[in-house]
Homo-oligomer: A and B are copies of this chain.
């Protein structure tokens, strides 16, 4: 029977990834052990090396898969908003999706956005899937630009050249001022999730999720609102 071997190989490879994910959820990326996986599979430890070259390679596979799942979650959240022109609603949806994914898969989120494994340079294979969730956000900015919102956000001169690259990479035309607020919203989003998920808010705020809500609301306004800065009556100008 041709292909039997291939199917068996694919099956145990999938088993290994599955067990690895469970192990990571239980003990963190640190506690990922090939020997434990082998035990779980009823094999001797050296046997799993027939399927995965090293512990780092397994980690890389998990990273790629996690990026993919996160990207998928962001995409379905964005597509779930019927009124495509309501950028603020889409931003909220995507931001919440990313946070929800992080909260339900904390170890995988930590694998992606926590401390990088030292001496472990992300292989080229990971940068593709990594851009998936980012692309959702960039597309949001492009669609926002299409609605004709004008911003007087100052764009630091030094940033223009750097930001030009983003257009090239993603192939989406976005105004510089939009990119600035977009990048800022991205950073705030990830920062809020990190602070909450990694337990830095326990002594600051009663309900850790509060920070996230505030950040999303504020940057939602910043993205779609328009003007920021200056020009308040009590501003001592």
Contacts and interface: CB of A to CB of B under 8 A. Distances in A.
Contacts of A28: 115, 117-119
Interface residues of A, number: 81
A162 B209 CA distance: 10
A225 interface: yes
B187 A122 contact: no
A214 interface: yes
Interface in A115-160: 115-119, 122, 127, 130-131, 134, 147-151, 153-154, 156, 158-159
Contact of A198 (B116, B119, B230, B233): B116
Given A28-B119, A187-B192, 5 more contacts: A28-B115, A150-B232, A154-B217, A158-B207, A159-B210
Interface of A: 27-31, 107, 110-111, 113-119, 122, 127, 130-131, 134, 147-151, 153-154, 156, 158-159, 161-166, 169, 180-181, 183-184, 186-192, 194-195, 198-200, 202-207, 210-211, 213-215, 217-219, 221-222, 225-236
7 contacts: A27-B118, A149-B235, A161-B206, A162-B207, A162-B210, A191-B191, A226-B235
